[in-house]
Structure 1
Amino acid sequence: MPDPSPRHEIAHLGHVELLTPEPEKSLDFFVRVLGLTENGTDGDSVYLRTWDDYEHHSLKLTAAKTSGVGRTALRASSEDALKRRVAALEERGLGVGWVDGDTGIGPTYLFRDPDGHELELYWETERYAPPGHLRPALKNQAQAYPGRGVGVRRLDHVNYLAKEAEANGRFVCDALGGRVTEQIRLDSGVISGQWTHFAQKSYDLVYTNDRTGSSGRLHHIAFATDTREDILRAADIALDNGVHIETGPHKHAIQQTFFLYVYEPGGNRVELCNPTGRLIFAPDWEPVTWTEAERAKGQAWGLKTIESFHTHGTPPVA
């Protein structure tokens, strides 16, 4: 039988590893300010989870000499789907190999995107079993609402910086079965940014061109809040806790996401977002392309894009 379409063979973004040179301060930020819950440690790493992610953890916070992104984990939709995506990765020469699964997940296949970012695929997973004080009243909820800080609901997406956004977006589509939902095309014809998704959520992995010409860097990770009003409250919480607010609250034109961007103590950019329930159901969706002139207008309600949004990435480069 012919190999089935790769569409939907990746179920969702599982978790992401963030590197920080300020592990204690970063941990305080994610637990006390954003409201994540600690769920174990391993060496220099702490596992953290949002209250509505069903797996063991949403974020792996690892002490390191510098900031940046470690591995990003994607869960396959089945064991057979995992095997097929591994074969596709090996065919493209970007596979690293099978490794023992991290805490909370089973056998894992490690690979890299064309830009060098590390990602991993897995199928077997450990569903979170909350202790008594975190047991929710409703059995269809993973964990009781923590009532602490911003109280982010789930890990939403990862935005990478890359030498060539289009080459990486094409890789996500061809090898992993993703699909481009929106993109930016400059007057030169260069695609400077692509937003890709795996299921109905409008984006999971994003690639934007790195102005420094570097490879393997991070633009931001994003956590979704329950409501748009939570973003406004998050700005006050950040202000009260001395957290650097880069831009927002405001609304993106691309994807229509309500946003707030802050820097965590390790220097990594973190977006707090509310995607306003935008889902994509069309099986024949065509990418929405934004021109350079349209992007020059700024965000949805006219806020100009701050310069640091184009220049700050982690780890820092000269």
Structure 2
Amino acid sequence: MTMNQEPILDIAHLAHIELLTPKPTESLDFFRNLLGMEVVHSEGQSVFLRGWGDQQLYSLKLTEAKQAGLGHVGLRTVSPSALERRAQDLEESGLGLGWSDGDYGHGRSYRFTDADGHNLEIYYDAEKYAVPDHLKPGLKNMPQKYSARGASVTQLDHINLFSSNVDADSLFYRKQLGFKLSEQAITDEGKQTTAWLHVTNKSYDLAISLDKSGSRGRFHHAAFKVESPEMVLRAADVFLDNGIFIEAPPNKHVAGQTMFVYVYEPGGNRIEVCAGGFLIFSPDWETVTWTPEERKKGLAWGTPLPSTFHTYGTPDASK
């Protein structure tokens, strides 16, 4: 996509992710009781869950598997014609896998991989969430009533994918799907080590980080949003009280400026609970570039992330 081309505006938002877990019972307990998500459907080896503020039917599909990791990412288009346009471009890119009849809660989808081998799908037709009586909110413009359970996450906020070639993956999402590059971290030679990309007005819906293990298609983390920084602190206490390993305690990111806490759910996938961050409204936003020297300063308040944050992903490459 060259600078003088009209932007691609066919993708509406990150709709859902499928996470794989070798410990389905323990992982389900984590998302339902510690994150406070609601189960909306069970089918085969999978359970579908939503946060209380999710505007779609569900944002997480949790599937039993031998190894932890990413099953697939679901992106919703803005219209049926947008779906056809993106499918045609993806087919021509050589990374298309073809059409499917869809999954629970949504219609037919076009499946494909990104440049590093992560599985994705795009679709438009989606079932609306029919809130049950016991979850009906006091205000009709809310998806459901507030969840007062565990960390009480509102919705899926963003995902971070590990990649063996961040530049190639970043270009793929920009060229084929219309993501915009809000921020990037680069080496002294100018190669991307992390790319933050967005299709909504959030600072990023998707991050791509360099996988130094050389593996392809691994998963870094999924982030679920809470209402305030204080709720991030509350989430950390919930994890502490329930024996969940906290990889990185509450702090503030430089890129995106979100408050966070990082943990490993029982199946092994890294999960972030986050709050805050900035929004982008300017159509001519200029990509913010972070140099290696700037990145050495650590997080916003000067402390570093643990070394595992830059090496651990799922599936675990060390096994």
Instruction: Please classify the TM superposition score into its range, dividing by the shorter chain length.
Output: over 0.9
- Residue 301 of structure 1 pairs with residue 280 of structure 2: no
Deviations 1:98-149 (A, max 9, x none): 1011111011110100100000000011111111101111111111112100
| Distance of 1:289 and 1:22 partners within structure 2 | 39
Counterpart of 1:289 in structure 2 is 289
Q: Structure 1's 43 and 6: CA in aligned 2 closer, same or farther, altered over 3 A?
A: farther
TM-score normalised according to structure 1 size:
0.97
CA contact (8 A) 1:196 1:202 kept: yes
Q: Is the 8 Å Cα contact of residues 228 and 276 (structure 2) preserved in structure 1? A: no
**One-letter amino acid matched to 1:308:** T
Cα distance, 1:125–1:6 mapped onto 2, change above 3 Å: farther
Within the alignment, does 1:258 sit opposite 2:267 as a pair? Answer: no
Letter in 2 for 1:174: K
Letter in structure 1 aligned against 2:279: L
TM-score scaled by structure 2? 0.97
Aligned positions of 1:181-192 closer than 5 A? 181-192=182-193
Distance in 1 (CA, whole Å) between partners of 2:7 and 2:53 is 27
What percent of counterpart residues are identical? 51
- What is the match of residue 271 of structure 2? 270
Kindly provide the amino acid, as one letter, of the partner of residue 107 in structure 1: R
Instruction: List structure 1 segments (4+ residues) > 6 angstroms apart after TM superposition.
Output: none
Distance 1:40 1:48 in 2: 7
CA contact (8 A) 1:27 1:61 kept: yes
Instruction: Quote the offset at 1:300 in angstroms.
Output: 0.1
Residue of structure 2 in register with 1:88 after alignment: 89
The reply to whether residue 179 of structure 1 matches residue 180 of structure 2 is: yes
- How many residues align? The count is 314
Structure 2 counterpart of 1:275, one-letter code: G
SS at match of 2:85: helix
Once the two structures are superposed, residues 174-230 of structure 1 have per-residue CA deviations (whole angstroms, 9 ceiling, x without a partner) of: 100110000001113221110100021111111111010000100100101111110
Specify every segment of 5 or more residues in structure 2 that has no aligned partner in the other structure, as ranges. Answer: none
Task: After TM superposition, give the deviation of residue 6 of structure 1 in Å.
Answer: 4.6
SS in 2 for 1:271: strand
- Within a 5 Å distance, the mapping from 1:60-71 to structure 2 comes to 60-71=61-72
Equivalent-residue separation in structure 2 for 1:226 and 1:257 (angstroms): 12
Aligned match of 1:310: 310
2:66 partner amino acid: K
Question: What amino acid does structure 2 have at the position aligned with 1:295?
Answer: R
Counterpart residue number, 1:164 = 165
- The Cα of 1:280 is off from its aligned counterpart by 0.3
Name the SS for the 1:26 alignment partner: helix
1: CA distance, partners of 2:112 / 2:168? 16
Secondary structure, aligned partner of 2:256: helix
1:23 aligns with 2:24: yes
Deviation of the 1:248 alpha carbon: 2.3
Cα separation, 1, equivalents of 2:249 and 2:285: 29
User: Given the alignment of the two structures, is residue 144 of structure 1 paired with residue 154 of structure 2, yes or no?
Assistant: no
RMSD value, Cα: 1.0
State the distance in 2 between where 1:6 and 1:118 align: 24
Matched, 1:36 2:1: no
Output the CA distance in 1 between the equivalents of 2:302 and 2:187. Answer: 20
AA partner of residue 316 (structure 2): P
